[in-house]
Amino acid sequence: MVLKKLFSKTEEKFFHSNTLQNNERHLGDYIFHNVTRLFAFFVLGLMLVMFLELFIESLPSINKFGLSFITSSEWNPVKDKYGALPFIFGTVYSSILALMIALPLSIGVAVFLTEVAPTWLEQPVSILVELLAAIPSIVYGLFGIFVLAPFLKNVVEPFLQTHFGFLPFFKGSFYGFGMLSAALILSIMILPIITSISRDVMKAIPDSLREGAYALGATKWETIKIVLISSRSGVLGATLLGFGRAIGETMAVTMVIGNRPEISLSLFDAGHTMASVLANEFTEATSSLYVSSLMEIGLLFFLITIIINSIARLIVNNVTKKYGKIA
């Protein structure tokens, strides 16, 4: 009888906890609940404030240039004329180039780690790859300036020009600094994220699938092909995340890309990215329209990175969920 009473009491407490009985324990719960909620909304609020601030600050530039801000390639602080096309181009071009280099490498490493490597080797290699992401980007920049750029200038670029100079990608004079060095540095920097997510996605593919392939008489390579096909959407997500990182990378790129607002297909030419123009020019922005234009670049940049990263996250989450259920 006593037990029953006790039980019904606790039960009552449990079911009425939402209706705020002024009981000490409930008060604690209430405070905790709301404080954590506050923290969570604080993050959202922060993003909203940043967005609004960027938007308001860039209004003068938006009013003055309208759409031509995105389509014009003239960036002339002296005449107070601003067009962001070279930066958008530079950002996208350098990132795509970086992806073209990093993607095959990353998939190769991920396949090696999940399908080929013996267990004792898998862990150390994974950790090493992930450590690449821990190196500060200024160190990559330094490496780019003092090691990569001279090497490109003296060895790689002369070679490319003499043998493939007929292609538009290898025309013009070369200095070591430019798209090529930026793309190479970027590719090293995005390698870890693409590799580790691709690896996780491939690991999430259930073994029953590999066994199914083996039992049909598939060779190791054919089995890997089936794993690759099955993990393609996850790898796509990883690629987009890498793309997002490449777009947002500032320091190392600024140090090696040459910082000239030009639009050129040649990998030897200097370029400029949205991130590097912001890093370079915020101190020199004297006129209010100049500041406003930089703000508009910031706004565009903010939107692009958020969109790309959200899409990538969605894809990656979907894939892991799907295979999580099967496994």
As measured in angstroms, the least distance from the Cβ of 122 to another protein is 14
Q: Which is nearer to another protein, 4 or 325 (CB)?
A: 325
Of 218, 251, 291, 304, the residue at the interface with another protein (CB under 8 A) is 218
- Span of 37-45, 127-135, 222-230, 276-284 interacting with another protein by CB under 8 A: 222-230
As measured in angstroms, the least distance from the Cβ of 123 to another protein is 17
The conformation of residue 271, written as its DSSP 8-state character, comes to B
**239-256 b/e (C-beta count within 10 Å ≥ 16 → b):** bbbbbbbbbbbbbbbbbb
Half-sphere exposure of residue 167: CA atoms within 13 angstroms, side-chain side: 11
Answer yes or no whether residue 222 interacts with another protein by CB under 8 A.
yes
Answer yes or no whether residue 280 interacts with another protein by CB under 8 A.
no
Structure token digits, residue 246 = 């490449």
Angle at 187 between CA 199 and CA 298, to 5 degrees: 110
Q: Which is nearer to another protein, 78 or 229 (CB)?
A: 229
Answer yes or no whether residue 147 interacts with another protein by CB under 8 A.
no
Residues of this chain, 185-214, that bind another protein according to CB under 8 A = 206, 208-214
Q: Which is nearer to another protein, 218 or 265 (CB)?
A: 218
Of 147, 167, 306, 326, the residue at the interface with another protein (CB under 8 A) is 326
Residues of this chain, 223-242, that bind another protein according to CB under 8 A = 226, 229-230, 232
What is the Cα gyration radius of the chain?
26
Distance of alpha carbon 129 from alpha carbon 126, whole angstroms: 5
For residue 104, which amino acid is it? P
- Span of 59-67, 216-224, 268-276, 280-288 interacting with another protein by CB under 8 A: 216-224
Q: Give me the residue label for tokens 């493939």.
A: 164
As measured in angstroms, the least distance from the Cβ of 113 to another protein is 17
Q: Which of 293, 271, 251 is nearest to 91 (CA)?
A: 271
Q: Which of 325, 96, 127, 107 is nearest to 234 (CA)?
A: 107
Which residues contact another protein (rule: CB under 8 A)? 206, 208-219, 222, 226, 229-230, 232, 322, 326
